[in-house]
């Protein structure tokens, strides 16, 4: 499990709804987190998916969780079982499902290349799960290697998870995230580019998943929307995939719906028939053509016209004492005629081909090729050995006739030099059609290799299709942070949940932070493009005004120590998880401090949209701010109200209350500090400027390092 962070939604040992005890973090994403937990009543281990606070208050995301929870009606061992959808005391919406112990296919792809028979078994199992889901009118729409778990590491126990964007296709059903695209572009069916999804869309994703697992790399979907749509109209490149896996993938990933596998049930039936037969060969390349004797091997001669005369002449010469002439070279022409009698002609092959690969989980690089003579064969072997760093097998090149062009053999040998710099490369030539794939170290290197390959193809007359990914294979988050650090204009920029082992290929890098202007997002994307390779950038900035940014610059670089700020509606008492209020609303604000912090002082202030700072605690009417003397302790948390409802103010007129007016639109910020002792030497005035507060904060941090135990801040946004 992943180490806990201070900002996690739940913490180890926390008990939800008197039932589920949190045991640790399984994963984090842009909208929420997944935890391992134990049911204290039944003892069953479960997985809990929880929405972040900003999404737990948005109806679209709540409806999404509600729809996913309805998957509990599907009872199939190949589909994760859902239990309930609930809300924690702090307002976080969470979903309870079975905990599936085992690696995902994506995890396995990072370690090894999955065998063809394993993938056939996985295809059969996943198709069974899709039969159950489609039978309830549910389309997954996001089937990919990270959404299929191999329970206990077994392909026979593959289980589909994460129906978070599942779409109900029944009459009157709704698409929770609208009719826009949902899913991962690399595995999405062509029709999903137009916002359409049906049962056969999941079959396309299954085929793309199988191809990615066999190749050991994420399919390249294109860099621009236009390129993505264009690529989706083409068949996936399955050259080199062994049968029957190749035929299955081609059937599943037909771009045109009428030609695609008709249903998950049909896939179960057809794959089941294959699995009942002999096990598919475990070879990772097509078997070479049957080897024929070479020019240097002696075989039984065939009858040829004129042969008898030559043999008779030889006998007469030897009988006449001409044996010495043979050895002196006087009869070389005769020797060639005789040698030809004992030599079979080279076979004619079509297509004339070469397939070479390195990496992708193979134990050793592999080569199979045709060549017209031994000199050409030696050149191909040398080119392969130079790029692969290993000699090919002895029978890797088969001599054969049938070259489509005179430059074919020299072109095949030169292909390896053009692909120099690729990792996990694959070069395939069939007659004059060539395909090259692999991973370049970076974006600039990928561009250079593509240019070299284009030049090679033009020189030797090949039509070329490339799939060159830009690395690195794993991107260090520290490299990303070096680019981000100089770009911030309202405090530091950071990465959301950067993976400890680095970003894999195809990952999305989410950049968060505050900004003075929204245009910073384009600058961040442009600055990262040269270093991230084939990965995506998602910028999620909190756009603030100059006043808030100035205060942000003076805030300490400290952990929150679990201090947080709760907002609610004064009229109803309900939590407001988004922090957005509208004209006429009465916001109420509580500062939540762990009950374990029993000493120190609480200081709270509000930075308004016009640049004014209002000191909420202590204030002229309430100077008490010792933590042990204020607030109410509930369930291990001390709740201190600093902005009150109208009813609370009427009961105690000295309390602070506020109402959203049409002159107040914009973003304000509530800031709370917990200090060992006085944060400032004297109580601050009821109202002051941002400049005054920023200067005072900078001074006290320099004079009293370590005095601030923790702090929290939260945006309060007012809208019409």
Higher-pLDDT residue of 340 and 441 is 441
Segment 364-392 mean pLDDT: 92
Pick the CATH number of 548-719 from 2.60.40.3880, 3.20.20.20, 2.130.10.10, 3.30.450.40: 2.60.40.3880
How would you class 533 by CB atoms within 10 Å of its CB: exposed for 0-12, middle for 13-18, buried for 19 or more? buried
Higher-pLDDT residue of 326 and 322 is 322
Q: What is the per-residue pLDDT across 411-428, written as a single tens digit (0 to 9) for each?
A: 999 999 999 999 889 999
Q: Please name the CATH architecture into which domain 353-470 falls.
A: 3-Layer(aba) Sandwich (3.40)
Per-residue confidence band for 267, with pLDDT thresholds at 50, 70 and 90: very high
Look at residue 456 in the predicted model and tell me its pLDDT: 97
Q: Which residues contact 525 (CB under 8 A, 6 or more apart)?
A: 537, 539
- Does the structure show a pLDDT above 90 at 188? no
pTM over 0.85: no
The full 3-state SS of 277-299, as one line of letters, equals CCCCCCCCCCCCCCCCCCCCCCC
Higher-pLDDT residue of 7 and 34 is 34
Q: Among 320-334, 355-369, 504-518, 564-578, which stretch is predicted with the lowest mean pLDDT?
A: 320-334
Per-residue confidence band for 279, with pLDDT thresholds at 50, 70 and 90: very low
- Does the structure show a pLDDT above 90 at 457? yes
Per-residue confidence band for 170, with pLDDT thresholds at 50, 70 and 90: very low
Most confident of 40-49, 105-114, 585-594: 585-594
Structure tokens at 424: 């996990």
Q: Among 244-248, 345-349, 407-411, which stretch is predicted with the lowest mean pLDDT?
A: 345-349
Look at residue 470 in the predicted model and tell me its pLDDT: 94
- CATH dotted code for 15-98: 3.30.200.20
Higher-pLDDT residue of 609 and 310 is 609
Q: Among 106-110, 217-221, 394-398, which stretch is predicted with the lowest mean pLDDT?
A: 217-221
Q: What is the per-residue pLDDT across 134-145, written as a single tens digit (0 to 9) for each?
A: 988 888 888 999
Q: Which of 416, 429, 468, 413 is nearest to 445 (CA)?
A: 468
Segment 59-88 mean pLDDT: 77
Q: Which residues contact 200 (CB under 8 A, 6 or more apart)?
A: 189, 257, 260, 261, 262, 263
Residue boundaries of the structural domains of the chain: 15-98, 105-276, 310-341, 353-470, 477-543, 548-719
Look at residue 334 in the predicted model and tell me its pLDDT: 42
- Does the structure show a pLDDT above 70 at 373? yes
Higher-pLDDT residue of 480 and 664 is 480
Most confident of 38-47, 216-225, 451-460: 451-460
Structure tokens at 492: 């530091």
Could you give the percent of the chain with pLDDT greater than 70? 80
- Does the structure show a pLDDT above 70 at 313? no
- Does the structure show a pLDDT above 90 at 37? yes
Per-residue confidence band for 361, with pLDDT thresholds at 50, 70 and 90: very low
Per-residue confidence band for 227, with pLDDT thresholds at 50, 70 and 90: low
Segment 107-125 mean pLDDT: 92
Look at residue 562 in the predicted model and tell me its pLDDT: 80
Structure tokens at 490: 């309202």
Segment 661-688 mean pLDDT: 88
Query: 436-439: long-range contacts at Cβ-Cβ below 8 A with a sequence spacing of 24 or more?
Result: 436/464, 436/465, 436/466, 436/467, 436/468, 437/215, 437/217, 437/237, 437/466, 437/467, 437/468, 437/469, 438/467, 438/468, 438/469, 439/217, 439/468, 439/469, 439/470, 439/471, 439/473, 439/505
Structure tokens at 588: 């109420």
Segment 488-509 mean pLDDT: 90
Per-residue confidence band for 72, with pLDDT thresholds at 50, 70 and 90: confident
Segment 688-698 mean pLDDT: 88
Domains 15-98 and 105-276 share a fold: no
Segment 272-285 mean pLDDT: 58
Per-residue confidence band for 3, with pLDDT thresholds at 50, 70 and 90: low
Per-residue confidence band for 493, with pLDDT thresholds at 50, 70 and 90: very high
- Cα–Cα distance, 438 to 510 (Å, whole number): 26
Q: Are 310 and 334 in contact (CB under 8 A)?
A: yes
Segment 56-67 mean pLDDT: 68
Q: Which of 448, 419, 423 is nearest to 436 (CA)?
A: 419
Look at residue 9 in the predicted model and tell me its pLDDT: 83
Higher-pLDDT residue of 26 and 182 is 26
Look at residue 609 in the predicted model and tell me its pLDDT: 82
Cα-only R_g, the chain: 35
Look at residue 643 in the predicted model and tell me its pLDDT: 96
- Does the structure show a pLDDT above 80 at 199? yes
CATH superfamily of 105-276: Transferase(Phosphotransferase) domain 1 (1.10.510.10)
- Cα–Cα distance, 26 to 97 (Å, whole number): 13
Look at residue 473 in the predicted model and tell me its pLDDT: 87
Look at residue 129 in the predicted model and tell me its pLDDT: 93
Look at residue 116 in the predicted model and tell me its pLDDT: 93
Segment 497-509 mean pLDDT: 91
Higher-pLDDT residue of 7 and 405 is 405
Q: Among 44-48, 262-266, 275-279, 654-658, which stretch is predicted with the lowest mean pLDDT?
A: 275-279
């Amino acid at each position: 499990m992943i180490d806990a962070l201070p900002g996690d939604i739940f913490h180890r040992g926390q008990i939800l709804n008197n039932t589920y005890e949190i045991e640790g973090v399984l994963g984090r994403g842009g909208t929420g987190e997944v935890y391992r937990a134990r049911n204290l009543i039944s003892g069953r281990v479960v997985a809990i998916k929880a929405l972040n606070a900003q999404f737990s208050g948005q109806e679209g995301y709540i409806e999404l969780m509600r729809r996913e929870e309805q998957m509990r009606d599907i009872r199939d061992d190949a589909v994760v079982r859902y239990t309930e959808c609930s809300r924690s005391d702090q307002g976080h919406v969470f979903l309870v499902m079975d905990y599936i112990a085992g690696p995902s296919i994506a995890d396995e792809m990072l370690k090894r290349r999955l065998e063809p028979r394993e993938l056939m078994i996985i295809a059969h199992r996943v198709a069974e799960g899709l039969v159950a889901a489609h039978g309830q009118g549910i389309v997954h729409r996001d089937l990919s290697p990270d959404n299929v778990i191999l329970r206990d590491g077994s392909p026979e126990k593959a289980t589909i998870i994460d129906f978070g964007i599942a779409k109900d296709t029944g009459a009157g059903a709704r698409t929770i995230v609208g009719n826009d695209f949902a899913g991962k572009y690399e595995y999405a069916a062509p029709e999903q580019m137009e916002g359409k999804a049906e049962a056969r869309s999941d079959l396309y994703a299954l085929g793309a998943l199988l191809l990615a697992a066999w190749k050991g790399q994420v399919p390249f979907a294109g860099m621009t929307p236009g390129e993505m749509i264009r690529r989706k109209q083409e068949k996936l490149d399955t050259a080199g995939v062994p049968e029957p896996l190749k035929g299955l993938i081609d059937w599943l990933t037909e771009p045109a719906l009428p030609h695609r596998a008709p249903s998950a049930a049909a896939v179960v039936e057809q794959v089941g028939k294959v699995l009942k037969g002999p096990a598919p060969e475990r070879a990772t390349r097509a078997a070479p053509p049957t080897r024929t004797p070479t020019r240097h091997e002696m075989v039984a001669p065939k009858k040829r016209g004129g042969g008898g005369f030559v043999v008779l002449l030889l006998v007469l010469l030897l009988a006449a004492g001409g044996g010495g002439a043979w050895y002196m070279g006087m009869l070389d022409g005769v020797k060639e005629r005789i040698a030809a009698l004992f030599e079979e002609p080279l076979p004619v092959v079509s297509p004339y081909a070469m397939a070479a690969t390195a990496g992708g989980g193979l134990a050793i690089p592999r080569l199979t090729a045709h060549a017209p003579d031994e000199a050409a064969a030696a050149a191909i072997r040398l080119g392969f050995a130079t790029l692969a760093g290993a000699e090919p097998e002895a029978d890797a090149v088969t001599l054969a006739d049938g070259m489509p062009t005179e430059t074919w053999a020299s072109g095949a040998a030169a292909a390896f030099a053009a692909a120099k710099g690729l990792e996990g490369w694959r070069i395939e030539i069939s007659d004059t059609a060539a395909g090259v794939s692999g991973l370049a170290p970076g974006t600039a290197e990928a561009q250079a290799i593509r240019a070299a390959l284009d030049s090679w193809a033009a020189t030797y007359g090949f039509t070329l299709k490339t799939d060159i990914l830009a690395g690195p294979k794993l991107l260090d988050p520290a490299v990303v942070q070096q680019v981000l650090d100089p770009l911030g204009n309202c405090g530091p920029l950071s990465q959301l949940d950067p993976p400890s082992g680095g970003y894999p290929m195809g990952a999305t890098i989410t950049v968060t932070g505050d900004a003075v202007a929204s245009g910073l997002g384009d600058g961040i994307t442009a600055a990262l493009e040269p270093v991230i390779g084939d990965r995506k950038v998602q910028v999620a900035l909190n756009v603030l005004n100059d006043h808030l940014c100035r205060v942000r610059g003076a805030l300490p670089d400290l952990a929150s120590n679990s201090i947080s700020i709760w907002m609610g509606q004064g009229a109803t008492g309900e939590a407001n998880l988004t922090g957005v209020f509208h004209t006429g609303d009465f916001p109420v604000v509580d500062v939540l401090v762990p009950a374990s912090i029993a000493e120190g002082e609480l200081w709270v202030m509000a930075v308004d949209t016009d640049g004014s700072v209002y000191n909420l605690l202590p204030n002229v009417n309430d100077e008490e701010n010792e933590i042990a003397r204020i607030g109410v302790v509930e369930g291990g948390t001390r709740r201190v109200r600093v902005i009150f409802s109208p009813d609370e103010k009427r009961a105690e007129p000295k309390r602070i209350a506020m109402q959203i007016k049409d002159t107040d639109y914009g973003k304000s910020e509530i800031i709370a500090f917990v200090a060992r002792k006085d944060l400032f030497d004297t109580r601050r005035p009821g109202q002051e400027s941002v400049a005054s507060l920023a200067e005072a904060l900078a001074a006290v941090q320099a004079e009293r390092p370590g005095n601030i135990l923790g702090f929290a801040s939260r945006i309060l946004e007012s809208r019409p």
